[in-house]
Amino acid sequence: MIATVTLNPAFDRTIYVRGIALGETNRIEKTEFDAGGKGINASRMLAELGAETVALGFIGGRTGRAIEHILRDEGIRTDFVHTKAETRTNVDIQDLGGDPPTCLNERGGPVAPHELDELKEKLRLWAGTSEIMIFGGSIPQGVEPGIYRELIETAQSNGARAILDADGEQLEIGMLAKPLAVKPNVDEAERLCGKEIKTVEDAAEAALECVRRGIEVVVVSMGRHGAVAACRGEVWQAIPPEVEAISTIGSGDSMVAGIAIGLAQGRPIQDCLALGSAGGAATAMSSGCEMGRKEDVERLLPCVAVHRLR
């Protein structure tokens, strides 16, 4: 079992336009709705690849119920805490002319103290039956920045190993709990380490710095340039095959899902990195907030180039 914890999920609405013009009337060509949030996206990819998963976190109101229905329709088990506050809605504006999407994200929350206590109890129970727990994304109002540290310590003291995919203060404090793995992207790694990352060697140094902080597996994702992983004194780079990227939304979460499957199965880090890279590339080929398909992941996996840097 691989559990995911999404503290600030979202009901994602993707709007497709052609050549958006600010301050003008723009015609929408199509609209898509989906369940979003880092952990939820990871659960969707895990399920697509045949892994057993359960999605935990907070949801509330009509948008929260919509997320539950979407996940259950996809065969994903859920055990959310239902909050008084409505789950946020995020709007992604996708320009069909090829420009990157513009994302408008609500803050989410607030979460009441008794709702947080309920989540902690659910987490304790699921940690006992989960090999891996993935913690990801932003935190809603009413939750302190150190929450990931507390939840990771709880998960790992009850038998699960933790993967953290967060940013800023949540990532830095969460790493104090010594999760099994973290997966910052380049921008997140720059903020964490306080230095620019311009090259693969820079990414390798950032990953090794995190390893020195007590993290066993550190993966720095670099978009179409692949990813660098540091583990037990080794550094590996994975370069995915070139694909026609339609939407990068969820690609990083798909990478985390692939890495989690590999770690849960006890595979070498280079195999985990390859599977994660194939998952990320497959999702980049999908439109809007859709996750990549299993057949695409399997087709791309042999084309991922993995080599040892040091």
Read off the pLDDT band of 243 (50, 70, 90).
confident
- Count structural domains, the chain: 1
Query: Is 170 part of a structural domain of the chain?
Result: yes
CATH label of the domain that carries residue 51: 3.40.1190.20
Work out the pLDDT band at 94, boundaries 50, 70, 90: confident
How many Å apart are CA 122 and CA 231, to the nearest integer? 31
Between 78 and 142, the higher pLDDT residue: 78
Residue with the larger pLDDT of the pair 54 and 21: 54
Distance of CA 134 to the CA centre of its chain: 8
pLDDT of 92 strictly over 90: no
Flag whether 166 is in a domain. Answer: yes
- Extended strands (E) in the chain: 2-6, 10-17, 30-36, 53-59, 77-82, 88-95, 102-105, 132-136, 161-165, 181-182, 217-221, 227-231, 234-239, 305-308
Residue 16 or 130, more confident: 130
Amino acid identity for residue 77 in this structure = R
- The answer as to whether 248 is a domain residue is yes
CA pair distance 272, 302, nearest whole angstrom: 13
* Whether pLDDT at 238 is above 80: yes
> What pLDDT is stored for residue 292 in this prediction?
83
Using the structure block, give the residue that is written with the tokens 């070498």: 268
Which pLDDT does position 288 carry in this prediction?
67
Tell me what pLDDT residue 264 has. Answer: 97
Interval 18-46: pLDDT, tens: 888 888 898 999 998 889 999 999 999 99
Mean pLDDT of 178-187: 96
Per-residue confidence (pLDDT) for residue 225, from 0 to 100: 82
Task: Show Cβ contacts of residue 270 under 8 Å, excluding neighbours closer than 6 positions.
Answer: 229, 236, 238, 306, 308
**Tell me, what's the pLDDT at 285?**
85
pLDDT above 90 covers a percentage of the chain that reads 79
DSSP string of 34-66, one letter each residue: EEESHHHHHHHHHHHTT--EEEEEEE-HHHHHH
Closest Cα to residue 42, out of 12, 76, 92, 65? 76
236 closest CA partner among 305, 145, 162: 305
Range of the domain at 103: 2-18+28-308
pLDDT surpasses 80 at 212? yes
**How much is the pTM?**
0.92
Q: What pLDDT score was predicted for residue 209?
A: 94
Query: What is the per-residue pLDDT for 103?
Result: 86
Distance CA 58, CA 91 (A): 19
Classify residue 23: in a domain, yes or no: no
The more confidently predicted of residues 284 and 172 is: 172
Terminal CA-to-CA distance of the chain, rounded, Å? Answer: 33
Distance from C-alpha of 255 to C-alpha of 275, rounded to nearest angstrom: 7
Residue 69: which pLDDT band, with cuts at 50, 70 and 90?
A: very high
| Structural domain includes residue 175 | yes
The verdict on residue 256 lying in a domain is yes
Q: How far apart are CA 138 and CA 140, in angstroms?
A: 7
Residue 248: CB partners within 8 Å, gap ≥ 6? 100, 101, 223, 283, 284
Token code pair at residue 91: 């709007």
Distance of CA 232 to CAs 35, 142, 175, 178, Å? 36, 37, 17, 14
Q: What is the pLDDT of residue 233?
A: 85
Kindly report the average pLDDT of the chain as a whole number: 93
Residue 157 has pLDDT above 90, yes or no: yes
Q: Residue 121: what are its φ and ψ, rounded to 5°?
A: -70, -40
